[in-house]
């Protein structure tokens, strides 16, 4: 009975998450962080001709990066509007990419379908972490590579999500997505599904004309922040805005003018158990 209630609860969380990511326009944020996907493809050492999957792809950052490497790229996401934006991006670049509706916890492909499986700040937000990890490994060819970019708990985005949670508490019983930003947690999640796992901390820098401009941008386009402000209401929203501005200034080490905000993330490359035949 407890297990049934848990599954039902996670399904409700997932439905709310889907609505959250459909709010605003995540593509506006994705365009800023495209370099993360490009660097991840280099770290995974994608080879031309490989079949590559981008999980929770949004508007297709990693799929586009993989296609630029000469790979046969596929992306899945559960927000149709983001997939449509990704298709327009691919068409504009003359890239052949397949973008499909799909759930990170139930990837719609058979076992061993891909030479490499990538997720850039995507699978980490699935409510059932273990199931998301199982799916990433399941669709990867034995000996294939799994590449992840995940925000770290003590980095800027990790701290930003903590600020938001202090104003708008997350659903009870759901593990924090920023746990994916620690090597020990990833090793625990993937367990014997992988032979090796190598992690490296990297930094992406957000650049805005002011701390206020950053917060305005994210409360307009970034689903979690959009929904947080909606939930906080007028009075609570003012306090949330102030706390986020203070956080930006702390990381940018400035009290006025343009901000350069270092955001630490964990780059992970794992090798699927089994080796190539």
Instruction: Give me the pLDDT at residue 5, please.
Output: 39
Is 80 exceeded by the pLDDT of residue 275?
no
Instruction: Give me the pLDDT at residue 2, please.
Output: 33
pTM, rounded to two decimals: 0.93
Phi and psi at residue 75, to the nearest 5°:
-130, 145
Is 90 exceeded by the pLDDT of residue 141?
yes
Higher per-residue pLDDT: 9 or 23? 23
Tell me which DSSP letter residue 182 carries. Answer: S
Note the CATH number of domain 2-162+170-205+264-272: 3.40.50.150
Q: What is the mean pLDDT of residues 179-189?
A: 98
Q: How many residues does the chain have?
A: 277
Q: Are 115 and 86 in contact (CB under 8 A)?
A: no
Q: What is the mean pLDDT of residues 129-138?
A: 97
Nearest to 260 by CA among 269, 248, 271, 252: 252
d(Cα 85, Cα 60) in Å, to the nearest integer?
A: 8
Return the structure tokens found at 201.
């901390």
Please identify which residue in the block is written with the tokens 């939930």: 231
Is 80 exceeded by the pLDDT of residue 276?
no
Instruction: Give me the pLDDT at residue 11, please.
Output: 75
Instruction: Give me the pLDDT at residue 9, please.
Output: 65
The average confidence (pLDDT) of the chain is 93
Give the model's confidence band at 8: pLDDT under 50 very low, under 70 low, under 90 confident, else very high. Answer: low
Please identify which residue in the block is written with the tokens 């927000």: 79
Is 60 exceeded by the pLDDT of residue 277?
no
Q: Are 217 and 208 in contact (CB under 8 A)?
A: yes
Is 80 exceeded by the pLDDT of residue 232?
yes
**Secondary structure (3-state) at 220:** helix
Is 70 exceeded by the pLDDT of residue 4?
no
Return the structure tokens found at 57.
């792809």
d(Cα 143, Cα 124) in Å, to the nearest integer?
A: 22
d(Cα 73, Cα 214) in Å, to the nearest integer?
A: 32
Nearest to 121 by CA among 37, 205, 227: 37
Is 50 exceeded by the pLDDT of residue 1?
no
Phi and psi at residue 272, to the nearest 5°:
-65, 140
Summarize pLDDT for 236-246 with one digit per residue, the tens: 999 999 999 99
17-31, 93-107, 256-270: segment of lowest average pLDDT:
17-31
Give the model's confidence band at 17: pLDDT under 50 very low, under 70 low, under 90 confident, else very high. Answer: confident
d(Cα 60, Cα 145) in Å, to the nearest integer?
A: 19
Nearest to 74 by CA among 93, 47, 95: 95
């Amino acid at each position: 009975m407890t297990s049934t209630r848990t599954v039902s609860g996670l399904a409700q969380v997932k439905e709310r998450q889907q609505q959250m990511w459909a709010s605003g326009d995540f593509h506006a944020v994705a365009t800023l962080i495209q370099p993360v996907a490009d660097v991840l493809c280099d770290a995974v050492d994608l080879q031309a001709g490989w079949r590559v999957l981008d999980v929770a792809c949004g508007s297709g950052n990693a799929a586009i990066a993989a296609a630029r490497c000469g790979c046969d790229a596929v992306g899945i996401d559960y927000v149709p509007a983001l997939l449509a934006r990704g298709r327009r991006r691919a068409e504009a670049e003359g890239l052949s990419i397949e973008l499909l509706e799909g759930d990170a916890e139930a990837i719609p492909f058979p076992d061993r379908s891909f030479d490499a499986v990538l997720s850039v700040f995507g699978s980490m937000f699935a409510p059932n972490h273990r199931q998301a990890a199982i799916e990433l490994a399941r669709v990867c060819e034995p000996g294939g590579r799994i590449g992840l970019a995940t925000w770290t708990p003590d980095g800027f985005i990790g701290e930003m999500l903590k600020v938001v949670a202090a104003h708008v508490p997350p659903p009870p019983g759901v593990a924090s997505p920023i746990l994916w930003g620690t090597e020990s947690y990833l090793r625990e999640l993937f367990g014997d599904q992988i032979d090796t796992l190598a992690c490296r901390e990297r930094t992406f820098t957000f650049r805005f004309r002011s701390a206020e401009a950053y917060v305005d941008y994210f409360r307009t386009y970034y689903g979690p922040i959009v929904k947080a402000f909606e939930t906080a209401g007028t009075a609570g929203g003012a306090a949330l805005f102030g706390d986020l501005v203070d956080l930006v200034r702390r990381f940018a080490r400035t009290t006025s003018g343009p901000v350069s905000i270092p955001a630490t993330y964990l780059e992970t490359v794992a090798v699927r158990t089994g080796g190539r035949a």
